[in-house]
Structure 1
Amino acid sequence: MAYFIPQQKHLTRHEIKKSSFIGIAQHAANRDEAMRFLADVKQAYPDARHHCWAYLFGSPAMPTGIAMADDGEPSGTAGKPILNVLQHNQVGDVMLVVVRYFGGIKLGAGGLVRAYSASAQLTLESLPVVDQVVMEQLQVRSDFKHEQYLRHFIERHHGQLIATSYSHEVTLALALPAAAVAPLHALAGSMGFTVHTAK
């Protein structure tokens, strides 16, 4: 379930039949962040004819949220092509806005679909990205003798130790990359500690 996310705001420009298309992408993990970004873009380009957009949250393979808008373009000619590009790439948690300055020559429905698709594709292909590793929240209960080994395991697998509590045993609240969960369960079976998914 690992995927890429935008590393920073990114902008591309291209022109088709005198219309200028500006593609702008940025990381957004929820609708509030995406709508704030859209408001910023509208403020930056207040005289543009259209501010069309789409977002995709979570992994592109299994998104947790998607939406789009044509912003005055004929239905299905702008937002849907942008979203289609997002759904066929490896970037998640992304908001992509395509700003259009009309150049006086009508493109027709097919021309608009191609233009918005091309702008979105150009923007995503050149977008600086970083790995987004899906972390799972777990709770481990163990004898004290295993604590140092478990701490070492968490560190070695690029996990995070969130909290530790002590009673007759040690309880560790932690977050691990999804790929490290099965090895931890295998260790639990051989070493005699318990692993639970955190509520």
Structure 2
Amino acid sequence: MAAAYPIPAAPLALTEEIKKSRFITLIGHTPTVAAAKAWVSEVKRQHPTARHHCWAFVAGAPQDSQVYGFSDDGEPSGTAGKPMLAQLMGSGFGEICAVVVRYYGGIQLGTGGLVKAYGGGVGAALKQLVTILKVLRTPALIECDYGDMGVVESLINRYGGELLAAEYGLQVRLQIAWESSAWANIDKELTDRTHGRVSLRSLDG
């Protein structure tokens, strides 16, 4: 799984008219499958008179096939959901859902026309999408004496650790989220610089 990947920073809507049918492509940030399905339902609620609400999502990390989903929603099989999902997978974006709402204009587009309309709509929207980078972090517990706080604080600053909680008693207990890919380096350096007095303990699961 990638240590970091782009996700939508804000929703996006793009409208296109093709042979009198109106296609509205909506892109949203959906970190889970449940969130993606809820967002699809919300789009349907906002567009109750549309003929089709076709959708596809990658509701997690881009390479995780367990969080993929798609639907043709009444269009001929393979002409909507799959082309939309292919665009999402090809983008490398994660935690993303696309819904294409079609208001039918009375003219049939044919199989190739539908694939181009749905897949192309998502592709065009993705080019305009503003994204931010999501960095995967692993939460850890550090217990140390006050004399080792200088080493701990320097590592937090250098590796961009996020302090989640702190307890100051006879010892210092810190909960810190670190970038997952840097975990091994942080743990080794912390152990080496404190001569084995301090190490990381995972709080993830």
Same fold at TM > 0.5: yes
Q: Could you tell me which residue of structure 1 aligns to residue 109 of structure 2?
A: 107
- Tell me the residue number matched to 2:163: 161
Q: Deviations over 1:102-130 (max 9, x none)?
A: 22221122221121110111111111111
Deviations 1:129-168 (A, max 9, x none): 1111111112223333222331332234332112234566
Q: Which amino acid aligns with 2:134?
A: Q
Post-superposition offset of 1:58: 1.9
Q: CA deviation at 1:50?
A: 0.4
Give the counterpart letter for 2:162 in structure 1.
Answer: Q
C-alpha displacement at 1:76, in angstroms?
1.6
Q: Tell me which residue corresponds to 1:59.
A: 61
Paired residue secondary structure (1:88): helix
- Could you say which residue in structure 1 is the equivalent of 2:83? 81
Distance 2:46 2:164 in 1: 40
What's 2:186 paired with?
184
Three-state SS of the structure 2 residue aligned to 1:75 is coil
Q: Which moved more, 1:52-61 or 1:186-195?
A: 186-195
2 CA distance for matches of 1:50 and 1:139? 50
Where 1:194 maps in the other structure, the secondary structure is coil
- Deviation, 1:52, is 0.4
Q: Is the 8 A contact 1:159 1:175 kept in 2?
A: yes
Residues 149, 134 of structure 1: alpha-carbon distance in 2 compared, 3 angstrom cutoff: same
Matched, 1:7 2:12: no
Does the 8 Å CA contact 2:139/2:202 hold for their aligned counterparts?
A: yes
State the TM-score, normalizing by the size of structure 1: 0.90
Instruction: Name 2:96's counterpart in structure 1.
Output: 94
Question: What's 2:149 paired with?
Answer: 147
Distance 1:62 1:26 in 2: 18
What is the CA deviation profile of residues 27-59 of structure 1, one whole-angstrom value per residue up to 9, with x for unaligned ones? Answer: 111233222322221222221110000111222
Asked if 1:194 corresponds to 2:196, the answer is no
Aligned-residue identity in percent: 36
The aligned length equals 199
- Per-residue CA deviations over 1:49-102 (Å, capped at 9, x if unaligned) read 100001112221335511111111111211111111111112111111001112
Cα distance in 2 for partners of 1:51, 1:18 equals 17
SS at match of 2:59: strand
Of 70, 73, 94, the residue aligned with 2:72 is 70
* One-letter identity of the residue aligned with 1:111: G
Relative to structure 1, the CA distance from residue 170 to residue 63 in structure 2 (aligned partners, 3 Å threshold; closer, same or farther) is: farther
Cα distance between partner residues in 1 of 2:160 and 2:191: 22
CA contact (8 A) 1:57 1:63 kept: no
Q: 1:137 aligns with which of 132, 136, 139?
A: 139
Letter in 2 for 1:144: Y
Given candidates 118, 121, 125, the residue that maps to 1:123 is 125
